[in-house]
C-alpha cells in the first residue's frame, strides 16, 4: 500500500499526467520503427544482412544527433527541439517507405533511414529531464524521485509490449510499410502534445548555470560506468531485436508476426519485474545493486541461446525479462544522481545515444551471425556484452559508488 501511495503522489505532481501518458505513448516508435524497418528492408531485399545495415544507419545517425539535440535542449529548452524533430522524423519515414517499396538503389534506403534516425525527437531525455526538475532538491518532492523514475521505466515497458505487438498486427492486416506509417503518426502527434504541455513549454533555464562545453557529462566521475552499461544493454537489446524475429521466422516461416509477439512477451516480463522491484524498498545503495542486476540480465540472455523452440524461448523471455526494468530503473536514477543539473538533458541523451549506437552495432552483428552461424550465437554475444558492463560497473576504477555517494550528500 505504501508503494501505491507513492505512485499516487507522483501522479499528483503538476505536469506528471502528461509525462506518464502522452510522454510514454509518444515513444511507441522506439520499439515499432526499428522492427518495422528491419522487416520492410528484409522483405524488399530478401536478406537480413542488408536489413540490419539499414537498421544500423537509422540507429547510428540517431546516436550521432542525440547529444547535439540534448545540449540544445539544455541551452534553449526542450520544447522547441521537440517540435522541430516532430516534423523531420515522420517525413523521413515516409521517404524510407517510398525508397524501399519502389526498389530504388540501396543507398537511398540508407540515406532515408539515416535522416529518420537523426530526426527522432529526444523525448526520453526531455521527459526524464523534466522528472529531475519536478523532483529536484528544494521542490519538496525529492523523496518521490526514485518512484517517479520507477514509474517512467515501468510505463515505458508498455512501449516494448505494445510496439512489437502493434507491428505484428500490422503484418497480419497489412505490411511493414503500414506499421512505419502508424509509427510516424504516433510520434508526430505524441511529440507535439508533450512539447506543448506547460511542464516543458513554460520551463525556463536558470541563467546562473554555466553553459556546458567540451565533453560535458562524459567528464563527470562515475558517468563512464553508466555509459558502459548503456552500451552493454543497448548491444544486447539490438541483438535480440534481430535474433528473436529471425529465430521465429526460421522455426515457423508461415507464422506471420510471431517475432513481434515474442518481443512483446519479453516486455511483459520486464513490466512485471519492474512492478515487483519498485514495490520493495532498496536493500542497499543503488550503485551497489547495479552490477548485480546487470549480472542477472546477462545470465537471462545466455539462457536464450539454448532454447529449442518458440514456446521455450517465450518462457525464457518472460522470465528473463523480469530483470530488464529493475536494471533500467536503477540506471536512470543513477544518471540523475551523478549528472550535474545543467547537463541533465545532455546526460540522458548520451545514455540514449550510446544505447542506440550499441544496439545498431549489435543488430548488425546479429544479422551477420543469423545468416552465417544460426540464431544461437547472437544471444551469447548479448550476454557477454552485458556481463562485461556488470564487471566494469562493479570495479572501483569506474568510480560509480564513490560518485553516487558524493552526489547524494
Complete DSSP assignment for 271-293: HHHHHHHHTS--SS-HHHHHHHH
128 compared with 215, residue with greater pLDDT: 128
**In the predicted model, is pLDDT for residue 201 greater than 90?**
no
Write the pLDDT tens digit of every residue in 114-163: 999 999 998 988 888 888 788 877 778 877 877 888 888 888 777 877 88
Phi, psi for residue 210 in degrees, rounded to 5: -70, 150
Are 177 and 232 in the same domain?
A: no
pLDDT for position 263:
84
**Highest mean pLDDT pick, 97-101, 213-217, 363-367:** 97-101
**In the predicted model, is pLDDT for residue 43 greater than 80?**
yes
What angle in degrees, to the nearest 10, is found between the helix axes of 286-304 and 223-251? 20
Are 257 and 146 in the same domain?
A: no
Are 92 and 146 in the same domain?
A: yes
Are 105 and 218 in the same domain?
A: no
Any idea how long the chain is?
A: 409
Are 280 and 394 in the same domain?
A: yes
CA atoms within 13 A on the CB side of 75: 10
Q: Which of 206, 234, 263 is the last residue of a domain?
A: 206
Q: Which of 177, 206, 235 is the last residue of a domain?
A: 206
Are 182 and 267 in the same domain?
A: no
Of 227, 180, 230, 223, residue with least CA distance to 359: 230
3 state SS of 140: coil
Q: Which of 161, 186, 206 is the last residue of a domain?
A: 206
Cα(226)–Cα(400) distance, integer angstroms: 8
- Alpha carbon 369 to its chain centroid, in Å, reads 23
Q: How confident is the model at residue 207 (pLDDT cuts 50, 70, 90)?
A: very low
Write the pLDDT tens digit of every residue in 75-119: 778 888 999 999 999 999 999 999 999 989 999 999 999 999 999
Residue 104, by phi and psi: left (phi above 0), alpha (psi -120 to 50) or beta? beta
Instruction: Express as a percent the part of the chain with pLDDT over 90.
Output: 32
Write the pLDDT tens digit of every residue in 320-351: 999 998 899 889 888 877 877 677 777 888 88
Of 251, 202, 238, 204, residue with least CA distance to 358: 238
Are 173 and 74 in the same domain?
A: yes
Are 194 and 241 in the same domain?
A: no
Residue 212, by phi and psi: left (phi above 0), alpha (psi -120 to 50) or beta? beta
**In the predicted model, is pLDDT for residue 204 greater than 60?**
no
Of 200, 80, 193, 201, residue with least CA distance to 134: 200
Are 133 and 250 in the same domain?
A: no
pLDDT for position 121:
92
CA atoms within 13 A on the CB side of 404: 25
Q: How many domains does the chain have?
A: 2
Q: How confident is the model at residue 215 (pLDDT cuts 50, 70, 90)?
A: low
Grid coordinates representing 200? 516543458
Are 201 and 254 in the same domain?
A: no
Of 296, 237, 295, 234, residue with least CA distance to 266: 237
Q: Which domain holds residue 295?
A: 214-408
Are 97 and 235 in the same domain?
A: no
Cα(159)–Cα(379) distance, integer angstroms: 22
**In the predicted model, is pLDDT for residue 7 greater than 60?**
yes
pLDDT for position 380:
95
Contact 290, 239 (CB under 8 A): no
Kindly report the pTM of this predicted structure. Answer: 0.74
Max Cα separation, the chain?
61
Are 242 and 385 in the same domain?
A: yes
Mean of pLDDT values over 302-324: 92
Of 263, 260, 270, residue with least CA distance to 154: 270
Give the CATH number for residue 70: 1.20.1250.20
Start-to-end C-alpha separation, the chain: 29
pLDDT for position 208:
45
Amino acid at each position: 500500500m505504501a508503494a501505491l501511495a507513492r505512485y499516487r503522489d507522483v501522479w499528483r505532481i503538476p505536469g506528471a499526467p502528461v509525462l506518464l501518458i502522452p510522454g510514454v505513448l509518444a515513444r511507441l516508435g522506439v520499439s515499432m520503427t526499428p522492427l518495422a524497418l528491419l522487416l520492410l528492408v528484409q522483405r524488399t531485399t530478401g536478406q537480413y544482412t542488408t536489413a540490419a545495415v539499414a537498421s544500423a544507419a537509422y540507429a547510428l545517425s540517431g546516436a550521432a544527433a542525440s547529444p547535439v539535440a540534448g545540449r540544445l535542449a539544455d541551452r534553449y529548452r526542450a520544447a522547441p527541439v521537440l517540435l522541430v524533430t516532430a516534423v523531420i522524423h515522420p517525413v523521413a519515414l515516409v521517404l524510407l517507405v517510398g525508397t524501399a517499396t519502389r526498389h530504388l538503389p540501396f543507398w537511398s534506403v540508407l540515406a532515408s533511414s539515416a535522416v529518420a534516425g537523426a530526426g527522432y525527437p529526444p523525448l526520453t531525455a526531455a521527459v526524464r529531464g523534466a522528472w529531475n526538475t519536478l523532483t529536484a532538491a528544494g521542490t519538496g518532492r525529492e523523496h518521490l524521485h526514485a518512484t517517479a523514475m520507477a514509474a517512467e521505466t515501468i510505463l515505458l515497458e508498455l512501449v516494448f509490449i505494445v510496439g512489437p505487438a502493434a507491428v505484428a498486427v500490422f503484418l497480419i492486416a497489412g505490411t511493414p510499410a503500414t506499421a512505419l506509417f502508424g509509427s510516424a503518426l504516433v510520434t508526430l502527434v505524441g511529440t507535439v502534445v508533450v512539447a506543448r504541455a506547460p511542464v516543458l513549454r513554460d520551463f525556463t533555464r536558470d541563467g546562473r548555470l554555466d553553459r556546458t562545453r567540451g565533453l560535458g557529462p562524459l567528464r563527470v566521475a562515475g558517468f563512464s560506468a553508466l555509459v558502459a552499461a548503456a552500451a552493454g544493454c543497448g548491444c544486447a537489446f539490438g541483438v535480440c531485436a534481430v535474433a528473436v524475429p529471425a529465430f521465429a521466422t526460421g522455426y515457423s516461416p508461415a507464422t506471420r508476426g510471431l517475432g513481434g509477439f515474442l518481443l512483446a512477451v519479453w516486455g511483459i516480463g520486464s513490466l512485471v519485474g519492474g512492478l515487483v522491484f519498485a514495490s520493495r524498498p532498496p536493500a542497499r545503495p543503488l550503485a551497489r545493486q547495479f552490477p548485480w542486476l546487470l549480472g542477472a540480465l546477462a545470465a537471462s540472455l545466455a539462457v536464450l541461446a539454448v532454447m529449442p523452440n518458440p514456446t521455450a524461448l517465450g518462457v525464457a523471455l518472460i522470465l528473463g525479462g523480469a530483470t530488464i526494468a529493475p536494471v533500467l530503473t536503477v540506471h536512470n536514477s543513477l544518471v540523475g544522481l551523478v549528472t550535474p543539473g545543467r547537463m541533465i538533458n545532455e546526460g540522458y541523451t548520451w545514455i540514449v545515444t550510446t544505447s542506440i549506437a550499441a544496439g545498431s552495432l549489435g543488430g548488425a552483428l546479429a544479422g551477420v551471425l543469423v545468416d552465417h552461424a544460426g540464431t544461437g550465437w547472437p544471444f551469447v554475444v548479448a550476454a557477454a556484452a552485458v556481463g562485461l558492463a556488470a564487471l566494469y560497473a562493479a570495479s572501483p576504477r569506474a568510480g560509480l559508488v564513490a560518485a553516487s555517494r558524493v552526489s547524494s550528500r
